[in-house]
Structures are given as structure tokens and as C-alpha cells.
Chain A
Amino acid sequence: MRISDNDIIVRLRKGDHRHFAALVDRYRDRGYSLALRILRSPRDAEEALQDAFVRAWRGLGEFQGSSTFATWFYRILYNVCMTALAKRRKERIFADGGEEDLPDPGAEPAMPGDWSGLELRDLTERVAGALRELPPKYASIITLFHLQELSHAEIAEVTGLPVGTIKTHLFRARVLLQKAALAKIDDERIAV
């Protein structure tokens, strides 16, 4: 029988440290995927994930249980990743003399053409590639929504952004992904 996150936390607080491994197993891959999509570097993502687990472990006493452990943990991880990203950008400003602006798709992108013959498998492959190129602010929200399956309200809790902003980011992220994925298919069709 699968033990709930809250039960694990109760046992950890009682000093039964063996169950921490179960929490790590549950959130390792999903947490890593989130960190990787924000930081785009396997090494940085692992560092951020380890840092987040260490912070979660040390801060277990602060976890009140008013939100789920998942939301609480992803919030820690998201903040660690954003701090690392900000540090990286700061270093880049000093190195390059200016911050590179991330592309923005605009509020109302144009509708794409006819894709009625498109197979889900083809789209999945293209979306996976396009996701790696998505700006971190969009990649994080799309990962939290589609992979972690958090609601808009939970994502707002994780990121500290208003629900309206989450919806807008999610919308733009998906449009960007669609554009990138379909452009790849277009390129392949032209090449053929």
C-alpha cells in the first residue's frame, strides 16, 4: 500500500529517517525535469535538485500541511532554480555588457495552417525538442501544469505569480511550443 506524503512527513518528524528515501524517489525525476527545463543544464539541474531536497529536509518543521508536500517542495525547487538563473544572468550581464531578451510570442499569435493529418507521435517528438528551447518562465509553468499536473492555483502558489499571469504564461507557452514544433515539421517537409 502506498503511504501518503503527509504520513511520511509525520514519520520523519518522529525521527524515522528511512522514509526520506521514499519522498526522494517520488519527487526526484519530476523535480529534475522541472529544474532541467528551467536551467537547461543537467549539472545545474542536479545541483538545484539536491539543494532543494536539502532545504526541504532541514525545513520539514516549517511545513504546516496547509498545502500539499508537492506544492511546498516544488516551491522550494522553483525558488532555488530562479535564484540560480538570476545569478547566471547577472554573470552574463557582467561578461557581455547587457542582458539578452527572451523571445515573446505576443498576446494573440496568428492561427497556424491545416494540421489535420498530424500524428500525435510526431507532435510529441517535436514538442519534446521545442520544450528544450522554451524560455524558462514558460517552460517551468508548462512543466508544472502538464507533467506535475498542478492546477492553476497550485502553480500560482509555487511560483508566487497571480493565477491570471499563470494562465497567460501557459497560453503563450503552448502557442510557442506549437509554433516551434510545427515549424520543425514544415522544415522537414521542405527538405523532403
Chain B
Amino acid sequence: MNHPSLRELHDFADRTLDAASAARVGAHLASCPRCAAEHRLILMTGEALRRLPPESPSPGFTARLHHALGLRQHVSLWWLVLRNLAPLVAAVAVAAVILTLGAPGGGLPGGDGVPGGGSGAGSVTPAPRAPLVDPGAAAGAIRSVAGRAAEWTGAVTARLVESTIGGNSLSQLALAGLVLGMLALLDRFLLGPIFRRRS
């Protein structure tokens, strides 16, 4: 029996043989178990090579490359906002939950006579109805909303301070969380960039 060479078997597996040679080798493989086994091994080796996963450089390679090129890595704006505000949001959420569940009298401002809280009734006079195009009325509405926000914030702070002085440990924890969140924000946006730039 005239066996094809090993090189021919490889070329047959790679489909780089001309049509006549491919037909001859194909016919031989159908009748020769030894060459068929060899051909199968060639195919298996190719498949094994294709299955090998690509390897990765060490972590931080891309960042180092960007640094070497003097490029800044593009980061999504939303991710930046989320990352920077996360400590504050988390602190406020914790504070709100603790105040709601743990503070004496329960609930946030307005529940026990704090002005301007809760239902929003309070002492603030609602802005008069006016067309949107009227600048005077719009300014009044903005002032009204700002006034309510200031009252609400003041009420929360007052409640926290009151609870803290009164020795409510949960409120003290909430206040500490809020302060830490503010400090984290201050560091990220104001102090950090200044000192990093200087160093």
C-alpha cells in the first residue's frame, strides 16, 4: 500500500492540497486505519491548539500603557458621578434609615411639630399661581422651594443634634456616618486633587 507522507497528511488536514492529491489521500484514509489514526491525531492536535485560552498580561497593563502614551483612560461620566457620590449617598441612606427606625417619636421632620416638614403644610406660604413666563412668579416659586428645602435640612440637622445631645446612640452613629460621607466627598473633590496635584 502506498501511504501518503506525513507532510501530505498535514496539508490534507489544513486543506491546502490540490484537488487531485486531496482525492487520493482521502480515498487512502478510508481504507488505511494507520493513516486514518495519524490523520485523526493531526486534527486533534489542531483542535487542542485552538482550545488553548489566550494568556493575559499582569493587571494594570492597560493603565501602564495609557500612561506610557500620555493618554487618559476613558471613564463613563455616570460611573464617575456614582463612584464619587457613593459614600455620601450611602451615609445619607444609613442616616435616614436609622433616624426613621431609631429616633424617638420616629419619622423624619414634620411628625412632631418641626416646621415645614412632613406633609409640606407648615408655615411656608405657597407660591402664587402665575404663568410660567412671568419671571416674578418663577422667582417666587424657586424661593419657596428653596425655603422648604432649607427648612427640611435644618429640621434634619436639628433632630440629629437634638438626638445627639440627648444621648441617642443610633442618631450619633447616623451623624457620624453623615460627617464621614461629607469628609469623603470633600477629600475626593477638593482636598485630594489639590494635594495630589502638588505632590
Contacts and interface: CB of A to CB of B under 8 A. Distances in A.
Contacts of A167: 11, 14, 16
Most buried by A among B5, B34, B41: B41
A28 interface: yes
Given A24-B65, A53-B65, A127-B48, A32 B55 contact: yes
Contacts of B45: 123, 127, 174, 177-178, 181
A39 interface: no
Contacts of B42: 174, 178
A142 B50 CA distance: 10
The majority secondary structure among interface residues of chain B is: helix
Size category of the A interface is 35 or more
Interface stretch (A75-83, A89-97, A112-120): A112-120
A79 B40 CA distance: 35
A32 B56 contact: yes
Given A111-B38, A167-B16, A46 B61 contact: yes
Size category of the B interface is 35 or more
B56 A147 contact: no
B74 A124 contact: no
Interface stretch (A2-10, A13-21, A62-70): A13-21
Given A28-B61, A32-B57, A112 B68 contact: no
A124 B52 contact: yes
Interface of A: 17-18, 20-21, 24-25, 28-30, 32-33, 36, 42, 45-46, 49-50, 53-54, 57, 107-109, 111-112, 114-116, 118, 120, 123-124, 127-128, 131, 142, 146-147, 152, 167, 170-171, 174-175, 177-178, 181
